[in-house]
């Protein structure tokens, strides 16, 4: 799942070198923390949050197939 998420985010970002995705699992919930450059935040969020919402929905599909729960968070890279 992390590979699919990184492919999507790297395709959108203008600065792919500043993109990092951290995966953690706690209580059966997998959390993906996406870090992108400040300039790419708007592109990843999208108008009215549509892009990040779409990314979250796409990532739910393989998670449901595997019987897992996921969350996707977006953070600004320093």
Paired with 23 in beta bridges are 32
Q: Could you read off the pLDDT of 40-64 as tens digits, one per residue? A: 999 999 999 999 999 999 999 999 9
pTM to 2 decimal places:
0.86
- Kindly report, residue by residue over 4-35, the tens digit of the pLDDT: 999 999 999 999 899 999 999 998 899 999 99
Residue 35, CB-side half-sphere exposure with 13 Å CA sphere: 8
Identify the helix (H) or strand (E) that includes residue 21.
strand 20-26
Structure tokens at 14: 């203008």
Q: What are the b/e assignments for 24-58, b being 16+ CB within 10 Å?
A: eeeeeebebebbbbeebeeebbeeeeebbeebbee
Domains and CATH numbers, the chain: 2-76 (3.30.300.20)
């Amino acid at each position: 799942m992390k590979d699919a998420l990184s492919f999507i985010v790297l395709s959108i970002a203008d600065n792919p070198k500043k993109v990092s995705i951290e995966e953690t699992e706690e209580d059966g919930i997998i959390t993906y923390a996406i870090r992108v450059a400040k300039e790419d935040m708007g592109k990843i969020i999208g108008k009215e949050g549509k892009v990040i919402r779409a990314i979250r929905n796409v990532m739910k599909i393989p998670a449901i197939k595997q019987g897992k729960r996921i969350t996707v968070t977006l953070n600004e890279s320093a």
